Structure 1
Amino acid sequence: MSNMDRIFVYPNDVDNFGFDWGRLALTVGPEVNGAKHLSAGVVFVPPGQGHTRHNHPGAEELIFIIKGKGEQMVEDEAGKPVTRQVGPGCSIFIPESRFHSTLNTGEEAMEIFVVYSPAGPELALRELPDFHLIPAADL
């Protein structure tokens, strides 16, 4: 990959992180293109699927719904889960270390753009029991 190819990156250009609930195409990050302060990518969640409640200690997250609809849970300051219906165009800010989860309640795959700041939380996903790498050539 040339330096400019690392600047303009599509989800199918990179190996994807696969899980039982969907996949993540990490398109921005230190190991992808040298980003120093954030990482980002596109999450694909099939109908009826979702990721379980989790948090990212020491990092904030931005979730932007590109396509599809679902339920987004984010804990409030007191740790109480707050769930909202989300769809295309909705931005969800996840404060540092706050627990959250996403469920696709629609009939089509959700496409979600995520940003982590600072970079790093996405690497912990490799340690999950259902993690598998999906080579870009297989997408």
Structure 2
Amino acid sequence: MIPTMNYNQPQAGENIEMTGTRKSVILSTECSGGHLTIIEEEISVGVCSTPHVSTREDKVIFVADGKFILFANGKKYEAEKGCNIFIPRGVLHNFKNAGTQTGKLLITITPFGPENFLKDLCLSVKVFGKDPAVMRDVAKRNGVVLA
């Protein structure tokens, strides 16, 4: 049964910390009955995500604050507060905080979310460092291909 309501107080969501980023799960896969996940990411200046392909999900990245460069399908997009981009599954993508302050993204992922991937990746980085082989293995188990 799909819950009819998900009510979260500010700062009540699950936080996942990685180098230069703090991810807060705003709406979990479990709360949406597997339909979607919403994650808020605070990204430090100059930090970029690893280029990757999501094989199971489509996503929308909405710039809530700051200035970013979004890369998708071989194209570069300069994005400021209020901009968004739809990235279908199977498309190579990543982003970089190109601003002068910590930026914030809201990422909506459907049909189900990557919370387990983010937790697994965060734990593996803490234990093994940024070992590319370990990171690729964690990604592969979660339907993500790192470039």
Relative to the length of structure 2, the TM-score reads 0.74
Q: Deviations over 1:51-107 (max 9, x none)?
A: 1101211210010001000110001xxxxx211111111011001121111100111
Q: Does 1:130 align with 2:128?
A: no
Q: Does 1:121 align with 2:114?
A: yes
What residue ranges of structure 1 are gaps of 5+ in the alignment? 76-80, 133-139
Distance 1:49 1:11 in 2: 25
Counterpart for residue 90 of structure 2: 97
Distance 1:42 1:48 in 2: 18
User: Which amino acid is the alignment partner of residue 113 of structure 2?
Assistant: G
Relative to the length of structure 1, the TM-score reads 0.78
Structure 1 segments, 4+ long, off by >3 Å, are: none
Counterpart for residue 55 of structure 2: 57
Report if the CA contact (8 A) 1:65-1:111 is conserved.
yes
Counterpart for residue 43 of structure 2: 45
Q: Does 1:13 align with 2:6?
A: no
The structure with more helix, counted as a fraction of residues: 2
User: Which amino acid is the alignment partner of residue 125 of structure 2?
Assistant: D
Counterpart for residue 74 of structure 1: 72
Report the alpha carbon displacement of residue 108 of structure 1 after superposing the two structures with TM. 1.1
Report if the CA contact (8 A) 1:10-1:27 is conserved.
no
Report if the CA contact (8 A) 1:11-1:41 is conserved.
no
